[in-house]
Amino acid sequence: MNQNIVPPVVWVHSDGLDKTDPAQGAYPHAPALWVWDETLLRNWLITIYQSRFICDYLLKLPVTVRRGDVVAELIKFAQEQGTTHIATTSTSNPGFLQICRQLQEQGFSVEIFEKRPMLTPETVYAPDLKWASPAW
């Protein structure tokens, strides 16, 4: 491995809040960042329960947590780490691709990993839904 290659930073968002996140799995020792998105917090009605749920997951991950503009915070974090490479996991969030484009326009490379499907052949044919039975 070339000693001059600077590893990326990992951008963790709502679809990467677990230890099986592909971007975190590809770069397990890379610094990671979660940003509480100011715009999203203003426009979406996120309840205290949803915030607590997210916080509980963040506490289990080796991740730096910031609040503000996602693009600005990612750029600042990457610069602090001395890299222009950002790795993340795909999401269906409508603003995701716009954020990636803005990062690329600022000279950053964005490596996007595909999220593993929740349903696999094993789970389709033999699901264990006992955990959900009280809700039904």
* pLDDT of amino acid 118: 56
* pLDDT of amino acid 41: 75
* pLDDT of amino acid 121: 52
Residues 6+ apart with CB under 8 A from 113: 22, 23, 26, 87, 88, 89, 90
CA angle 105, 111, 113 (to 5 degrees): 140
Per-residue pLDDT for 81 more than 60? Answer: yes
- Average pLDDT of the residues of the chain: 83
Q: Which residues pair with 65 in a beta bridge?
A: 34
- The tens digit of pLDDT for each residue in 87-105 reads 999 998 888 999 999 999 9
Percentage of the chain beyond pLDDT 90 is: 51
* pLDDT of amino acid 2: 44
CATH of domain 9-135: 3.40.50.620
* pLDDT of amino acid 49: 84
Q: What is the pTM (predicted TM-score) of this model?
A: 0.79
* pLDDT of amino acid 46: 78
131 against 79, higher pLDDT: 79
